[in-house]
Amino acid sequence: MSRSDIHLHFSVAAAAVVVYDWVLTIGQEIELIWRQRWSLMTVLYLVTRYIGIPYSVVNVLVTMPLVSLTDAHNDYIGNILNYALNWTNIVMTAMLDVIMIARLYAMYQGSRTMLIFLVITFLSVNICCAVLAAIGFMNVVAEEIMLSGLHMCNYNYEGDVQLQMSMVWMLNTVWEVLVLCVSIWIAVKHFRDLRRLGPSTGSIVGDYFRVLIQSHVLYFASFAGVSCFQLINISPALSNSNPAAVLIFGSIRFVLVVVQMFVLGPRLILSVREYHAKLIADSDAEISMNSIVFQEHVHISTSGTV
């Protein structure tokens, strides 16, 4: 199997995962997103959900030799597509960070101190990542190559692009570890405080935190997997000794990045709204049951007096 075939197969797999998850959650999306009052989280959900489909399709088209351009503008268009995809990664990462800040702000019960700390850290990390990425993208050059008689677009990296990209991943990893630590800390603190509350209130608040932590840990696990594959992929020892392994690791990393941004990202919002809707539905059902019992009690009492 050639290099282009491997890229194509993994790109198709990533696109299939995004489309399958969208089809799987479209019913919840209509009920919990489109029919609800619009907010910042609604906009973030729709962007992270619906950017993923064209993003995946463009990746498939870029890796398909049959649709590769063969005119004089091939390199120019290849550079544009490469810039668009890479900057989409940067922007989507920042939007997912905003979702995390909103979740932590709610978990810390509207603490302004925590909000200021998170916003300052978020801006510092993302500004540094944007600057490093911009410098790195300037040193990526597209060129047309012939592979098995087909025209393909290949990207060459000049200068210290690998070092700059690894610094971007390290900064994002520091941010994710920080967010996970403050999430676990406040969750443990709340679970200890819930022991002093009643069973009904404690169980409701505890379930909210459990939903938040479970989705957060799953998201962090995917990011940790992406970071590990990225560090392995840029390892000089591996790249020099086994280029085939580098290609496979890079392709797996791409699939994990797509899943993290466009599947687990939207589910960070959808899982909380789903639990909130379930809680409201259970509360309405309990109120309706109490009303029915009350009406039956009144009817029996009236019949008895007559």
303 pLDDT higher than 50:
no
- Cα angle: 289, vertex 292, 297; to 5 degrees: 125
What is the C-alpha separation between 273 and 36, in angstroms, rounded?
10
The secondary element (H helix, E strand) that includes residue 150 is strand 150-157
Q: Using an 8 Å Cβ cutoff, are 103 and 268 in contact?
A: yes
Q: Using an 8 Å Cβ cutoff, are 154 and 146 in contact?
A: no
Give φ, ψ of 177 to 5 degrees.
-65, -40
Question: Which of 90, 83, 80, 153 lies closest to 125, judged by CA?
Answer: 90
- What letter does residue 37 receive in the DSSP assignment? P
pLDDT tens digits, 184-194: 888 888 777 76
Q: What share of the chain is helix, strand, coil (3-state, %, to 5)?
A: 85, 5, 10
28 pLDDT higher than 70:
yes
Question: Which of 219, 218, 258, 269 lies closest to 46, judged by CA?
Answer: 269
14 pLDDT higher than 80:
yes
pLDDT tens digits, 69-108: 444 455 566 667 777 888 898 999 999 999 999 988 888 8
The overall average pLDDT reported for the chain is 76
220 pLDDT higher than 70:
yes
* 3-state SS track over 174-214: HHHHHHHHHHHHHHHHHHHHHCCCCHHHHHHHHHHHHHHHH
- The H-assigned helical ranges of 73-198 are 74-107, 112-138, 161-194
The two most distant CA atoms of the chain are separated, in Å, by 97
Average pLDDT over residues 271-288: 71
Average pLDDT over residues 174-184: 89
- What letter does residue 38 receive in the DSSP assignment? P
The model carries a pTM of 0.79
Give the residue, 13 or 211, on which the prediction is more confident: 13
3-class state of residue 142 by DSSP: strand
Residue 184: both structure tokens together: 């676990």
Q: Using an 8 Å Cβ cutoff, are 105 and 118 in contact?
A: yes
What is the C-alpha separation between 122 and 119, in angstroms, rounded?
5
Give the residue, 156 or 63, on which the prediction is more confident: 63
What is the C-alpha separation between 92 and 133, in angstroms, rounded?
14
What is the C-alpha separation between 252 and 113, in angstroms, rounded?
39
Average pLDDT over residues 23-48: 92
